[in-house]
A and B are shown apart, each in its own frame.
Chain A
Amino acid sequence: QSALTQPPSASGSPGQSVTISCTGTSSDVGGYNYVSWYQQHPGKAPKLMIYEVTKRPSGVPDRFSGSKSGNTASLTVSGLQAEDEADYYCSSYAGGTNVFGTGTKVTVL
């Protein structure tokens, strides 16, 4: 049950795109199409942004998109906006349990 690996930080200017990686193993990310992504602002509960690798819940802007290749999943935020500045976490099913990523702080320059 090791945490999935994410870069500690990522940044971009307003209007630019930023991509966050999430690396696991064949026992979690690579083994299932059950990767999800969460946005968390300081002092707030996490918010679901992407589920089942590529699906967006109702109300999440289409600027947020997900993908996966092998044991690595990615979240891309296009057209960065000031309100996108937050911590982002990936999560994956791991065959009977769930595991989260180490988290990435996204800064909008």
Chain B
Amino acid sequence: EVQLVESGGGLVQPGGSLRLSCAASGFTFSSYWMHWVRQAPGKGLVWVSHIKGDGSRTNYADSVKGRFTISRDNAKNTLYLQMNSLRAEDMAVYYCARAEVAGGFDYWGQGSLVTVSS
């Protein structure tokens, strides 16, 4: 059974940093692109970033480029999102999701809430 479990969310002050993790199981992690998608309270889904299975390619939404870094450890079957210079508008539930580069997100984690507030 495919499982994605996020962790690392919490309360952080504006300008602060946080690292999210997504532990994957039930599939060959290194064979899949992985994505982060976020959803602000009461708002819609927004794609944040993706990374190729071997970690060689990454891309970001313009709103997080230069502040967020996606990475993965295939030995640990874990996806990461390092978030720096956090802003109020980054406050959201962050989901990790499995998909090919072109989308079709077939498995999602339960989400991890990031709250940015002083």
The answer on A and B forming one complex is: yes
One of A32, A34, A40, A45 near B109 (C-beta < 8 A):
A45
Count residues of chain B with CB under 8 A from any CB of chain A. Answer: 22
B45 touches A100 (CB 8 A): yes
Cβ < 8 Å to A, chain B residues 60-118 = 61-63, 95, 101-106, 108-111
Q: A46-B45, A98-B35, A99-B47 are in contact. Are A91 and B105 (CB under 8 A)?
A: yes
CB within 8 A of B106: which of A1, A51, A91, A93? A51
B110, A45: Cβ atoms under 8 Å?
Answer: yes
Q: How far is the CA of A41 from the CA of B103 in the complex (A)?
A: 20
Q: Roughly how many angstroms separate A92 CA and B59 CA in the complex, as a whole number?
A: 15
The answer to whether A38 touches B61, judged by C-beta atoms less than 8 angstroms apart, is no
- Write the chain B residue with the least CB distance to A4: B44
Q: Which residues of A contact B45 (CB under 8 A)?
A: 38, 40, 46, 89, 91, 100, 103
Interface majority SS on B: helix, strand, loop or mixed?
A: strand
**Choice from B35, B50, B61, B108 contacting A1 with Cβ under 8 Å:** B61
Q: Is A46 a contact partner of B102 (Cβ separation < 8 A)?
A: no
Report whether B104 and A36 are in contact in the complex, using a CB–CB cutoff of 8 Å.
Answer: yes
Give the number of chain A interface residues (Cβ < 8 Å).
26
In the bound complex, CA of A3 to CA of B63 (Å): 13
Judge whether B11 is part of the interface by a CB distance below 8 angstroms: no
B positions within 8 Å CB-CB of A: 35, 37, 44-47, 50, 59, 61-63, 95, 101-106, 108-111
